[in-house]
């Protein structure tokens, strides 16, 4: 029995050790650091991607392989899941070969591909798995390029062995023959090519192939053209630069079949982001892999080797100068990203897509339909919320129609709409009882695209209410013809002296304004696109967004005094047509009337288009767009809207017309616009920090941001703003106390002033609602107040750019009211609930954390009492991407008990096995007697 006990103990110990080893292995799996020489991939819950691999360039010299370059490259992608059309994802990398001959616009394929050692980013369709058979994996022909220029390559007839032909990793048929992929018969429009040439066709997901060729002579997809494809939108391919430290980053624009049918990416068509770090061709100048008849002769081999083995014409980090285009070494340029040597080093990042915007119209087969009109602030929320309803046959289809809130309210008042989304309630009451149920906390953003003196994008911008007023009021002339002659801008000096006049004018654009320069040191003065830098790109529709913006401006004593005619401390005055303008307004008026006579006579400006139809010039520069989605697209693709380009045939006067300046040149961009916070998040557009507090004693003619607090839109700063919302028991909504900003109240020092609530206004009696309508609208409200507030990118979740309506975010009362309002809508008895139950009084608004000090100071470090960078909303460099959303907690054994939570069940099982083993041994001992004694 002692042996039995010993054996049982051994079994038990073995089980415990096995359990311990299992736990250790589990821990190691989570904590192990993978050597840099291996490839690792990790996809976090947010869909982030990380991969490291070691890549080589090797040459065959006298039949022996020689490593000439070796790099350990790490690629990071911000998100890869729940992607929608035009979504921007952040791509960054380290360890790559530095780029030389850097082109200013990485999306300008025909020119940017000439850079040496770029990181080439492409969207490709096909199977992204590295485990799939080679023939089924993504090939270069599956990758989109914007122009035909990038898909045809011809060599010098006197040099029959260009680098791609002596690529040691390529096969003859696929790449190394004299002519590859040339269509047969060759279209007569393509001409003849006496030297080596390579055709890179494009094949769409359905198998349709276009040979393309020079200028698209052998046919090309509709979305591809000589100018870059898809109209004014820059291509989503990128030939991005790597810095001398081996690091680089780029914003990559994801396209789906909604924008590019011939790429076809969707939930049904697999696609990937393919990143190719160009290392150069690994050369086999003797061409041993080719048929003997196709190999270079001994006389040809030195020239082939010299061209293929080149290491670059431009120094690492050098900027391409005037006249240097075309001097690159082909073998290390981006032109050959498709060559086998480069392609083998590729990173393939699988992309996963959200349902398309039209999914409900596709799948709806009889679901009850209800619609809601109004606020453009809800665009991104609706994109994720609508499929939650329409994809469930037991629910309903929710139609969302964006329009200006004042128009939507009018439709509800007249009965042509049954429910609307608004932020501001109308001055006149609704004819039927209506609840104002909060469904989202979000706001507007002042977005910007600005390049610094080195051509690098600026990520921090500070603006105060007076600067915003200057941009809106057509007070920057934009062009010298207006600056020198517009009587609405000319004023008594000081200011900017006007030639041949005793009067002064205003700075040409905001970059030349001393107030802007003081708040934003380091931004270039007098950028090339001066007209676009003189206005805030806005919209022509009536919208609560403009009401909120102009309420913030109007609350500022400095901005209000300037609007009333008091010059700013540097001498700039308001355009006289706006002097005394009453704010807030829901639609910004364009009031300037000046028409430059030089533009009419033909000695300046956009002649002859302007002369044919003169109109006030500054409204042409302001040129607001129709709606918020269009504005977001312009900011995303830096499309300047001033209508100053004359197109048409002067011999055909009716053809003459003015068009927008169009996309700005990367490296010289300057645009400021107003968008929604959610659009800024989705399209990765930088957001400005807005002034919230000025420390007493700060000079009015300041030279730096010292003593001032600027707050960017983050979850923390939106939560601070939510804390100061004031319940209005009479109007049954919550108001935002803009006046506190004008009083420099410490309660708002960390509260983002662009914060807005969105309400669903729904009748609780009448309004044309059927019983089913009432049930469905109530279901929408209940969802919006509960499950719809869970952050994430999936169907039914709350998109980035919205603050979850929770008690932790000071929005518990708002969410509770929406649930109460839902019950009233469902009942349809005409009840409009009070904001708080009769037995409950609203709690006083808590003071944002850290605002009890009498002097919050400056977020830029100027002045004592400056909030720390970690304080909520305090950092001027904070951006939407820094928001920390609240995520649902899913309990696991490890979450409850640590690693032991996983080990305990294993140990318990092994103990049972040990006990069973002991009993079995005991029984066998009794049966076999001395054999076991």
What pLDDT is stored for residue 229 in this prediction? 62
List pLDDT tens digits, range 487-504. Answer: 999 999 999 999 888 999
pLDDT at residue 312, as a whole number: 96
pLDDT digits (tens, 9 = 90+) for 203-256: 999 999 999 999 899 999 988 876 666 666 778 899 999 999 999 999 999 999
Question: Minimal CA–CA distance to 72: which of 38, 33, 28?
Answer: 38
Considering only residues 652 and 30, tell me which one the structure prediction assigns the higher pLDDT: 652
* C-beta of residue 359 within 8 angstroms of C-beta of residue 390: yes
The number of angstroms, rounded, from the C-alpha of 500 to the middle of its chain's C-alpha atoms is: 48
Residue 20: what pLDDT? 38
d(CA 698, CA 739): 20
3-class DSSP state for residue 41? strand
- In residues, how long is the chain? 933
d(CA 859, CA 692): 11
Query: pLDDT category, 289, cuts 50, 70, 90?
Result: confident
Whether 167 contacts 283, CB under 8 Å: yes
**For residues 748 and 501, which has the higher predicted lDDT (pLDDT)?**
748
More confident residue, 152 or 1: 152
- What are the respective helix, strand and coil percentages of the chain, to the nearest 5? 30, 20, 50
Q: What is the mean pLDDT of residues 431-449?
A: 97
For 314, the 3-state DSSP assignment is: coil
The sign of the CA dihedral 849, 852, 853, 857 is positive
Stretch 854-881: mean pLDDT:
36
Residue 125: is its pLDDT beyond 60? yes
Tokens of 349: 């990042």
Question: 854: burial class by Cβ within 10 Å (0-12, 13-18, 19+)?
Answer: exposed
User: Between 15 and 641, where is the model more confident?
Assistant: 641
Please state, in angstroms and rounded to a whole number, the distance separating the CA atoms of residues 503 and 489. Answer: 10
pLDDT averaged over the chain? 85
Q: How confident is the model at residue 900 (pLDDT cuts 50, 70, 90)?
A: very low
Residue by residue, DSSP assigns 197-256 as EEE--EE-TT--EE-B-GGGTB---TT--TT-SSTTSPPS-EEE---TTS-EEEEEEE--
What is the mean pLDDT of the segment spanning 592-600? Answer: 94
C-alpha angle with apex 163: 161 to 165, nearest 5 degrees? 55
Arithmetic mean of pLDDT, 779-783: 98
Is residue 866's pLDDT more than 60? no
Rounded to whole angstroms, the Cα distance separating 164 from 141 reads 16
> What is the rounded CA–CA span in Å between residue 861 and residue 874?
11
The pLDDT confidence band at residue 45, using thresholds 50, 70 and 90, is very low
Q: What pLDDT was estimated at residue 326?
A: 86
| Region of residue 127 (phi > 0: left; psi between -120 and 50: alpha; otherwise: beta) | beta
Residue 306: the pLDDT is: 95
What angle, 0 to 180 degrees and rounded to 10, lies between the N-to-C axes of helices 900-928 and 2-31? Answer: 160
CA distance 894 to 704: 51
What single-letter DSSP state applies at residue 484?
A: T
Question: CA nearest 351: which of 623, 117, 178, 144?
Answer: 144
For the segment 562-579, what is each residue's pLDDT rounded down to a tens digit? 999 999 999 999 999 999
Residue 208 to residue 262: CA distance in whole angstroms: 9
Contact 608/624 with Cβ under 8 angstroms? Answer: no
Using alpha carbons, list the distances in angstroms from residue 377 to 545, 548, 677, 754.
Answer: 8, 12, 8, 12
Q: In sequence order, what E strands does 285-340 have?
A: none
The whole-number pLDDT of residue 739 equals 96
Highest mean pLDDT pick, 387-396, 497-506, 563-572, 646-655: 563-572
Of 561, 557, 458, residue with least CA distance to 516: 458
The predicted pLDDT at position 818 comes to 98
According to DSSP, the β-strands at 689-694 and 462-463 are parallel
Q: What is the pLDDT of residue 225?
A: 76
Q: Distance between the two ends of the chain, CA-based, in angstroms?
A: 7
Mean predicted confidence (pLDDT) in 850-857: 38
Token pair in block for residue 693 = 């507090």
pLDDT of residue 267: 92
Q: How far apart are CA 629 and CA 167, in angstroms?
A: 47
pLDDT, position 910: 42
Specify the DSSP class assigned to residue 54.
E
Q: Mind giving me the DSSP string for 666-687?
A: TTS-EEEEEEEHHHHHHTT-EE
- The owner of tokens 């914007």 is 146
Whether residue 886 is predicted with pLDDT greater than 50 in this model: the reply is no
The average pLDDT across 645-673 equals 90
pLDDT band at 291 (very low <50, low <70, confident <90, very high): confident
Identify whether the C-beta of residue 39 lies closer than 8 Å to the C-beta of residue 51: yes
For the purposes of burial, counting CB atoms within 10 Å of the CB of 35, is it exposed (0-12), middle (13-18) or buried (19 or more)? exposed
Give the tens place of pLDDT for each residue, 711-733: 999 999 999 999 999 999 999 99
| Residue 512 CB neighbours (<10 A) | 18
Residue 861 has pLDDT above 50, yes or no: no
DSSP letter string, 754-807: TEEEEEEEEESS-TT--HHHHHHHHHHHHHHHTGGGSBSSSTTSBPTT-B---G
Biggest alpha carbon–alpha carbon distance for the chain: 125
∠ CA(245), CA(122), CA(70), 5° rounding? 40
925 SS3 class: helix
Map tokens 């090309």 to a residue.
220
Give the closest residue to 78 by CA, choosing from 640, 879, 909. Answer: 879
| pLDDT at site 241 | 94
pLDDT tens-digit profile of 808-843?
999 999 999 999 999 999 999 999 999 988 766 555
Give residue-wise pLDDT tens across range 533-566. 999 999 999 999 999 999 999 999 999 999 999 9
Task: Work out the average pLDDT over 132-145.
Answer: 93
d(CA 185, CA 716): 64
Distance of alpha carbon 359 from alpha carbon 361, whole angstroms? 6
Lowest mean pLDDT among 282-291, 444-453, 827-836, 923-932: 923-932
**Residue with tokens 């654009």, as numbered in its chain:** 509
Distance between CA atoms of residues 300 and 285, nearest Å? 9
| Upper half-sphere CA count for residue 140 (Cβ side, 13 Å) | 24
What CA–CA distance (Å, rounded) separates 459 from 14? 58
DSSP annotation of 160: -
Q: How far apart are CA 769 and CA 773, in angstroms?
A: 5
Distance separating alpha carbons of residues 472 and 476, to the nearest angstrom: 9
């Amino acid at each position: 029995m002692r042996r039995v006990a010993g054996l049982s103990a051994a079994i038990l110990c073995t089980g415990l050790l096995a359990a311990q080893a299992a736990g250790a292995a589990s821990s190691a799996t989570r904590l192990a650091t993978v050597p840099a020489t291996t490839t690792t991939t990790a996809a976090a819950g947010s869909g982030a991607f990380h991969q490291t691999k070691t890549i080589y360039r090797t040459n065959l010299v006298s039949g022996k392989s020689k490593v000439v370059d070796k790099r350990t490259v790490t690629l990071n992608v911000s998100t890869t899941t729940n992607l929608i059309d035009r979504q921007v994802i952040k791509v960054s990398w380290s360890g790559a070969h530095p780029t030389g001959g850097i082109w200013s616009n990485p999306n300008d394929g025909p020119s940017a591909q000439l850079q040496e050692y770029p990181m080439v980013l492409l969207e490709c369709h096909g199977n992204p798995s590295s485990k799939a058979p080679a023939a089924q994996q993504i090939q270069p022909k599956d990758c989109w390029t914007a122009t035909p220029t990038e898909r045809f390559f011809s060599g010098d007839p006197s040099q029959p062995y260009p680098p791609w032909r002596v690529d040691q990793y390529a096969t003859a048929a696929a790449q190394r023959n004299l002519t590859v992929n040339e269509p047969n018969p060759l279209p007569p429009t393509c001409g003849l090519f006496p030297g080596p040439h390579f055709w890179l066709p494009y094949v769409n997901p359905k198998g349709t192939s276009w040979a393309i060729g020079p200028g698209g002579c052998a046919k090309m997809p509709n979305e591809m053209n000589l100018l870059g494809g898809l109209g004014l939108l820059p291509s989503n391919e990128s030939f991005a630069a790597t810095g001398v430290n081996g690091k680089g980053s780029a914003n990559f624009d994801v396209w789906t079949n909604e924008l590019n049918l011939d790429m076809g990416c969707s939930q049904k068509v697999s696609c990937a982001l393919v990143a190719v770090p160009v290392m150069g061709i690994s050369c086999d100048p003797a061409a041993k892999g080719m048929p003997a008849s196709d190999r270079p002769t001994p006389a040809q081999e030195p020239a082939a080797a010299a061209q293929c083995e080149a290491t670059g014409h431009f120094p690492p980090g050098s900027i391409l100068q005037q006249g240097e285009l075309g001097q690159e070494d082909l073998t290390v340029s981006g032109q050959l990203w498709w060559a086998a040597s480069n392609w083998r080093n590729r990173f393939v990042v699988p992309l996963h897509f959200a349902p398309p915007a039209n999914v409900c119209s596709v799948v709806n087969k009889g679901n009850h339909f209800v619609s809601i009109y109004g606020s453009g602030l809800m665009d991104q929320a609706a994109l994720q919320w609508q499929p939650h309803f329409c994809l469930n046959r037991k629910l309903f289809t929710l139609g969302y129609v964006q329009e200006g809130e004042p128009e939507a309210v009018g439709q509800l008042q007249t009965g042509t709409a049954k429910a609307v989304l608004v932020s501001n309630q109308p001055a006149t009451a609704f004819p039927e009882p209506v609840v104002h149920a909060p469904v989202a906390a979000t706001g507007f953003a002042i977005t910007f695209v600005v390049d610094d003196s080195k051509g690098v994008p600026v990520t921090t911008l500070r603006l105060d209410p007076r600067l915003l007023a200057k941009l809106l009021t057509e007070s920057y002339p934009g062009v010298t013809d207006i600056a020198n002659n517009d009587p609405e801008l000319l004023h008594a000096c000081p200011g900017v002296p006007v030639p041949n006049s005793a009067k002064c004018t205003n700075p040409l654009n905001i970059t030349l304004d001393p107030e802007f320069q003081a708040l934003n040191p380091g931004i270039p003065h007098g950028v090339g696109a001066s007209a676009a830098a003189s206005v805030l790109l806005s919209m022509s529709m009536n919208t609560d967004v403009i009401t909120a913006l102009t309420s913030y401006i109007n609350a500022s004593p400095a901005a209000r005094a300037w609007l009333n005619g008091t010059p700013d401390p540097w001498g700039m005055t308001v355009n006289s047509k706006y002097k005394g303008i009453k704010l807030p307004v829901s639609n910004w008026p364009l009031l300037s009337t000046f028409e430059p006579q030089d533009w009419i006579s033909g000695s300046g400006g956009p002649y002859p288009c302007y002369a044919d139809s003169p109109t006030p010039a500054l409204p042409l520069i302001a040129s607001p767009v129709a709606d918020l989605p269009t504005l977001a697209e312009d900011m995303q693709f830096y499309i300047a809207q001033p209508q100053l380009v004359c197109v048409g045939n002067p011999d055909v006067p009716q053809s003459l017309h003015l068009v927008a300046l169009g996309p700005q040149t990367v490296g010289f961009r300057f645009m400021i616009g107003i968008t929604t916070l959610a659009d800024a998040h989705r399209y990765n557009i930088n957001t400005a920090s807005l002034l919230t507090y000025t420390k007493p004693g700060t000079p009015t003619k300041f030279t730096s941001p010292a003593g001032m607090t600027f707050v960017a839109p983050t979850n923390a700063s939106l939560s601070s703003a939510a804390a100061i919302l004031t319940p209005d028991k009479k109007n049954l909504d919550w108001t935002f106390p803009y006046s506190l900003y004008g009083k420099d109240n410490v309660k708002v020092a960390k509260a983002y002033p662009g914060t807005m609530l969105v309400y669903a206004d729904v009748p609780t009696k009448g309004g044309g609602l059927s019983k089913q309508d009432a049930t469905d609208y109530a279901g929408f409200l209940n969802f919006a107040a509960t499950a719809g507030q869970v952050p994430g990118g999936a169907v039914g979740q709350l998109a980035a750019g919205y603050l979850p309506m929770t008690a932790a975010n000071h929005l518990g009362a708002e969410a509770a009211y929406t649930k109460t309002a839902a019950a009233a809508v469902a009942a349809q008895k005409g009840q409009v609930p009070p904001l708080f139950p009769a037995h409950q009084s609203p709690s006083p608004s808590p003071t944002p954390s850290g605002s009890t000090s009498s002097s919050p100071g400056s977020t830029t470090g100027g002045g004592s009492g400056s909030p720390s960078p970690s304080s909520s909303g305090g950092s001027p460099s904070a951006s939407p991407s820094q928001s920390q959303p609240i995520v649902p907690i899913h309990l696991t054994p490890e979450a409850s008990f640590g690693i032991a939570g996983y080990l305990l069940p294993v140990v318990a099982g092994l103990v049972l096995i040990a006990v069973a083993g002991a009993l079995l041994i005991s029984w066998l001992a009794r049966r076999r007697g001395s054999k076991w004694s």
